[in-house]
Every structure is written in structure tokens, then in C-alpha cells.
Amino acid sequence: MKPLYLEFLLHWGAVSASETFDYVIAGAGTCGLVLANRLSENPNVRVAVVEVGNDERHNPNVTDITRFTYALSTPLAWQYPSVPQPWAGNKSVVFFGGKAIGGTSTINGMTYIRGDKAEFDAWEALGNEGWNWNSLYPYFKKVERFTHPTAAQVASGASYDAKAHGDSGPLRTGFPFQLINGTLYETIRTSWRNLGLPINPDVNSGDVRGFSVWPQTVDRDAGVRADAARAFLHPVEDRPNLSIIQGAVKKITWSDSVSTCGNSIADGVEYLTTKGETATYGLETKIELPGVGENLQDQPLLSLLYPGKLNASGLTPYATFTNVHDLFGRDSVSIAASTKVSLSQWARTVSDANNGAISPQILERLFAIQHDLIFTRNITIAETLTVASGAQLVSVFWLLLPFSRGSVHIKPSRAIEEPDIDPKFFLIDFDLDLELRTGRLAQQFWDTEPVKALVAPGEPALANNASEAEWAAYIRKTCLST
């Protein structure tokens, strides 16, 4: 294997030094640190990770389990505004990313939910032989070190299936000690059950539907977030063959020779070391791949707020996952038929909106599999969080599988921290209908006993009898990025 050379660039572009590594990884996020951990297990292999963020292991906005969202307004978070969204009131939404060793795992909501079995099986249906739930399941458990809940946590709603979890992996998961106690859990669980949503004893078993208290990426006994750095880097950071280098990757350099298969060979990486400098990119195309940066899916997030008759203190990781039958009821069959005949038109719409970067034929194939997942395999397609904080009651909800597709690109002559992000929210109007149905269900929840008794008098953002036009306007005006 030919080693890669790292060239250290100062802001004026002069090469000041170079080092040789067998592998160079751009970014110390979750994927980058897992790779670095595994590759550096071989002491004869030199591995470098280039990351612009700092070591934040002692920053309370990272470590404190109760401070989720605090970091979003600090230098810990990249804040990327999208381009204006014409189908969402022409507004821009902000995308957040973690600017730290550990990447976005240092600022996210710590949710640990794998997904529905059928979604992983769809990877194989798309041509990825061997990539399915059964083949990945042992690795899900291998990476995990699950902490069984205490009796007090079980009384607060924590539940699990021991067979679905690993107990010796590097990533600690479990339930935080700060789970809210008292009767709130039972009140919320009963109200969802009264709407036909059962309790799910373990959302990581491959069946996500129902109401649950979800596990999180936390080291419960230490009382801290289990981000990617804590899981995959800190235990091995003393390896002499592993280096973390602060900088922003500028480009990959390419050899003049090609492999025996005719492929290009990378022989180096250039990166910037000067803090605070921005890099503009006049990019030269090496290989024409118009699909790069395309097929972006994002899930528009909405909230409904209500005044409460309580003073809640503690964490409420309460999630309810719903499928198409929960949202559309008896109309599901007719909607399945009407949307199926629309797939071809949707594919053309998305392809045209993205300048033909992905062909309508490819998109239609993707949409057909997605349609089958939703209407035949009954996977969950929407998530609703039920939150109580102080005297505030909140539903936060979003659709999980939008048909709308957007893009993310680096623009020539623009700084690397100014990408063009365009999720194209609600380009396909069925996404808006799904969001609306999910919102109506959340609204119905707060009007269902026994939780209804906790809602104080007041004027909600939307009346229970709000029209579809009023709902659509509210969604377009208030939606955010997940």
C-alpha cells in the first residue's frame, strides 16, 4: 500500500512540512473516529485524522446530559443556512453540525434508536448484497455497552429487551438518572394507548411503532454524554500510530499513475492549519459524477406548545412512532393507490428540480421501494416527541421518509463553511400531507384523557378545528430542520 502524504498549508499557501501516513481521515465525527479506532488497531499502520474542531471533553455544553440545545448557539456548532425554500414560505432554515472532536455527536439529542427491520432490508433490495437487518444486527450489539435500568428508572418508564442489546462494546447506552419521576409517564402512556398506540418495550428490536421511553447515548453512571470521542477515541488516543491534527482538509492530491483497474490513485491530502482562516474552492472536476451532493433528504420539524398545570422537572425522552395506518386510518388503501400512480410524476419533478443530476428512472425505482416500505411493509413514517418542561407542554414532530429530495454542494469561490444546502422542503406535496396528519394526531393527543387534564386554559397556535389551509400555512411558516 502506498503511503499518503499530508501537506501542512499556512494561510498564504506555502508548504511548511509534510508527514507520511497509511490512512488519512477527513473529519473526527462518528464515522471518522470509528475508522480511526479500527484502522489503528494494527500497530504497523499509521493513521491521521484531520479535524477543525477542538477537544471538548471537559465542556459542560457537551458532557451535561440536561444541556441539549445549549451548544447550538455557541462556537461548538456550525450553523449553515439553507437557500430559501419556495415550498416553505420562501424562508431559510438552519442546519447544525458539531464543530468538535466527536462531530455532531457532541451536540445532538443523544437518541439511540436503530430503525425498522424493513428499512435495512431495503438496502439489499437496492442491490447491496448482504446489507440487511439480519447481517447488521450482530454489529449493532457488538458496538454497544448497554446499562440496564435501575428499578427507579423502570418505574419512570424505562424498558428493554436484553436480547436486543450488547454489553461489552465501546459505545455506552442506557437511560439517564434524570428521567422524570411521578405519574407523568403513566398519564402520557395511557393517553397514547387510548389513541391506539401501544407501548413499545424496546424500540431497538427492529419494530419501532408505538410509545416508548427511548434509550440514549449516555454513560449513565458517570452522568455524561457518550459522544463519539468518548466512545472511540479517548480509550485509544495514546496509540503511537494514531494522530489527531487540527485543520480543515483543502483537497485530495492525485497521482499521475492509475491503478491496474484504471482508477485514479490518491497520494496525498492538503489541509489548512491556521485557525480562523477560510478556504475558497476553485474546484477542478477529476471525474464527472453529477449525483455527488444530490438526493438529500431532511425531515421538516414542527412544534405545538400548550400551557400546563404542572411544574415538570426532569427529562422526558418520550417518543411515539406511527405508521401510515395510524395517520390515515381507513383511507390508507386509497392513498396507497393514488400515491403509487404518482411516483413517476414525482420522480420527474425531483429530477427537474435538481437539474437532472439524478435521472427520473433511478428516482422512480427509489420511490417504488419507499412506497412499498410505507404501504406494504408498514414501517414507521413519523415521530412525535412528548415533552414537559416546567409549566410548558410540547409536541415536537416530523415525518421520517420524505419523498422530496434536495442537494448540498460546495460552490466555487465560496468559503467551505458556506455550502449551498437545499432540502427542497415539500417539493412533493404528499410530504406536507404527512406532516399535517402527524400534527393533527399530536393535537388530538393533548385533547385525550388523562393528559387533557394537564393542559391549562389558553390559546394554542392552532385550534382543534383548524382547516387544512390553516395547517399548511402553519407548517410552512414554522418548520425547522431536524
Q: Do both 399 and 467 map to the same domain?
A: yes
Q: Average of pLDDT values for 21-40? A: 95
CATH number of the domain within which 401 lies: 3.30.560.10
Q: Has residue 221 been placed in a domain?
A: no
β-sheet bridge partners, residue 81: 94
Query: For residue range 398-427, what is the model confidence (pLDDT) as tens digits?
Result: 999 999 999 999 876 667 678 999 999 999
The per-residue pLDDT for 9 is 44
User: How many alpha carbons lie under 13 Å from residue 467 in its C-beta half-sphere?
Assistant: 3
Q: Do both 237 and 182 map to the same domain?
A: no
- Find the helix packing angle between 117-125 and 133-142, rounded to 10°: 120
Q: Has residue 43 been placed in a domain?
A: yes
Query: For residue range 193-241, what is the model confidence (pLDDT) as tens digits?
Result: 999 999 999 999 999 999 999 999 999 999 999 999 999 999 999 999 9
Local confidence band at 2 (pLDDT 50, 70, 90 cut-offs):
low
Backbone angles phi and psi of 299, in degrees to 5? -110, 105
Q: Do both 99 and 120 map to the same domain?
A: no
Q: Where are the alpha helices (DSSP H) in 426-467?
A: 429-446
Q: Do both 436 and 370 map to the same domain?
A: yes
Question: Which distant-in-sequence residues (6+ apart) come within 8 Å of 421 by Cβ?
Answer: 80, 81, 82, 83, 95, 296, 406, 407, 408
Boundary residue ending a domain (288, 310, 329): 288
Q: Do both 269 and 383 map to the same domain?
A: no
Q: Has residue 220 been placed in a domain?
A: no
Query: For residue range 309-346, what is the model confidence (pLDDT) as tens digits?
Result: 999 999 999 999 999 999 999 999 999 999 999 999 99
Question: Which distant-in-sequence residues (6+ apart) come within 8 Å of 301 by Cβ?
Answer: 396, 397, 398, 479, 480, 481, 482
Q: Has residue 146 been placed in a domain?
A: yes
d(CA 216, CA 214): 7
d(CA 403, CA 432): 10
The per-residue pLDDT for 248 is 84
- Global model pTM greater than 0.85: yes
Residue type, 25: I
Q: Do both 147 and 72 map to the same domain?
A: no
Work out the percent of the chain whose per-residue pLDDT is above 70: 92
Boundary residue ending a domain (288, 315, 331): 288
Q: Has residue 248 been placed in a domain?
A: yes
Q: Do both 265 and 119 map to the same domain?
A: no
Q: Do both 8 and 151 map to the same domain?
A: no
Boundary residue ending a domain (288, 311, 326): 288
The per-residue pLDDT for 45 is 95
Give me the sign of the Cα torsion angle 399, 400, 404, 405: positive
CATH number of the domain within which 52 lies: 3.50.50.60
Q: Do both 190 and 66 map to the same domain?
A: no
Whether the Cβ atoms of residue 29 and residue 102 lie closer than 8 Å to each other: yes
Q: Do both 140 and 257 map to the same domain?
A: no
Q: Do both 141 and 97 map to the same domain?
A: no
Query: For residue range 167-195, what is the model confidence (pLDDT) as tens digits?
Result: 999 999 999 999 998 899 999 999 999 99
Q: Do both 198 and 311 map to the same domain?
A: yes
Does the structure show a pLDDT above 90 at 16? no
Strands 264-272 vs 4-9: parallel, antiparallel or unpaired: parallel
Does the structure show a pLDDT above 80 at 467? yes
Q: Has residue 101 been placed in a domain?
A: yes
The per-residue pLDDT for 238 is 98
Q: Average of pLDDT values for 360-388? A: 97
Domains: count for the chain:
2
Among 32-41, 286-295, 311-320, the least confident range: 286-295
Q: Has residue 349 been placed in a domain?
A: yes
Q: Where are the alpha helices (DSSP H) in 25-150?
A: 30-39, 60-63, 117-125, 133-142
Q: Has residue 222 been placed in a domain?
A: no
Does the structure show a pLDDT above 70 at 11? no
Angle at 179 between CA 173 and CA 181, to 5 degrees: 150
Does the structure show a pLDDT above 50 at 274? no
The per-residue pLDDT for 305 is 97
Residue 94 structural domain:
1-109+227-288
